[in-house]
Structure 1
């Protein structure tokens, strides 16, 4: 019947709308970045930069061989391009890979691309983990967790022989906080969020704000059922390693969005000419 076609079309549109709205629904299970939408011209430039970085990372770190490679797949808008490139290479080069996701979004991207899905129970050791970042400093320290998946992302990164960052050039900084001004995400047990706000602010200053959802009443809830504090810091004299250790020792903290001494290499797609720059700690070269 014609009316059934109309109903099915309406349901499809609603599903698409719900998927796009997930970022603001109060859950970290988001298929898109939580950054504000850029103007159309700038958005095209950003997407091209992300795609270029993702292609370089996948081509440089995923081996062309018959031996199985275990890959960690991160979260966020940049990783979508990495998954696309990986799927293309698997199809054309018959690569033998299995993919372990860091989030609900990553799992959906892997499945949609037709890539083999696995988990840490089966493959506890990972060859290469690919992920995005909110900011990367000259020592390869990273802020991650803008999308709310920091705990899973850090677990996967810690299991990987190589942890590779993919981003556009806006994320490349000399020091943390130079460009990223939304604070360091900290995943916390819900009942402890208020005492932790006070302890973090008393220990290091700044402001630790509970991340609130945009399209539901109440806070954002992670895939693990926890809350997120976004700690906006200023004038820190402590090392990031010391800060990370101190916060992680506070009862009720699940994990911080500080990734210290974890990434081996970062790929940045230029916002001007589309070129990709790669670097490790305190070095830089064209890819």
Structure 2
């Protein structure tokens, strides 16, 4: 039988994901992000729970992460039960030299931001291709369906090129775990992420954007299984 969460193995992502799992200590409450790199972290934490009797609880950011965590045997809780987390681990679409990051390729960035902001320490796991001197990838923006047209116009007024994210295997747009749309907006080189983040947040109908400004460190996995750690 094929594991429904199985993906083609990446040595870079695996190295970063496994190292991040080693940062989790006994008794920790852990925020578990979404994506292929964090999947390695979740599965490794499950192994540590089984084989090392690691005592932890996890808060997931998506249904995908929840399924992987349940299969791996990671005990789960919620922010309602455990509002303060010791560490959050997540991936990124891109990060710059100041550790500003863009996230939301998996359309879970609203919950990911809430979880990461609830943690004392936010660690991003990545492969080398996500590193950039300046942010350039499209910013995912979760939008209330009712506000789609206003948000689209407002993003264009900011100089962006907004595109409603379409679902891959169904007609119509992607629907987030919160029941909203996602607009991917390209701005070219984002030289002042803080300013852009503030402007996007002020648009009525925007639930949350994918610019993260609270990354404490980035773990980059290499093809030979080693890792590089970047901190400010």
Q: Give the structure-1-normalised TM-score.
A: 0.77
Contact 1:211–1:219 under 8 Å retained in 2? yes
2:216 to 264, 269, 279: 264
Q: CA deviation at 1:235?
A: 4.8
Question: Are residue 193 (structure 1) and residue 144 (structure 2) matched?
Answer: no
The structure number with the bigger radius of gyration is: 1
1:67-107 Cα shifts (integer Å, max 9, x gaps): x2100100011111001211222223211100110000111
Instruction: Give, in whole Å, the separation in 1 of the partners of 2:201 and 2:226.
Output: 37
Question: Are 1:73 and 1:130, in contact at CA under 8 Å, matched by a contact in 2?
Answer: yes
CA offsets 1:109-139 (integer angstroms, 9 cap, x no match)? 1111111110011000000101111111111
TM-score for both structures, normalised by structure 2: 0.94
Of 234, 250, 254 in structure 1, the residue corresponding to residue 203 of structure 2 is 250
Distance 1:268 1:235, change over 3 A: closer
Residue aligning to 2:173? 219
Pick from 14, 19, 22: which aligns with 1:56? 19
Question: CA contact under 8 A between 1:72 and 1:157: conserved in structure 2?
Answer: yes
Contact 1:132 1:166 in 2 (8 A): yes
Map of 1:9 onto structure 2: none
What does 1:274-285 align with in structure 2 at a 5 Å threshold?
274-281=225-232
Q: Which runs of 5+ in 1 are unaligned?
A: 1-11, 20-30, 34-42, 282-287
Say if 2:108 and 2:176, in contact at 8 Å, map to a contact too.
yes
Distance 1:172 1:270 in 2: 13
Which of 173, 193, 214 matches 1:240?
A: 193
Which runs of 5 or more residues in structure 2 are unaligned? none
In 2, are the aligned partners of 1:49 and 1:268 still within 8 Å (CA)?
yes
SS where residue 203 of structure 2 aligns? coil
Query: How far apart are the structure 1 equivalents of 2:231 and 2:143?
Result: 31
Partners of 2:155 and 2:122 in 1: CA distance: 28
Q: Distance in 2 between matches of 1:73 and 1:235?
A: 29
1:23 paired residue number: none
Q: Partners of 1:206 and 1:242 in 2: how far apart?
A: 14
Asked if the contact 1:207/1:231 (under 8 Å) is kept, the reply is: yes
Helix, strand or coil at the partner of 2:113: helix
Q: Following TM superposition, by how much is the alpha carbon of 1:208 offset from its aligned partner in structure 2, in angstroms?
A: 0.6
CA RMSD of aligned residues (A): 1.8
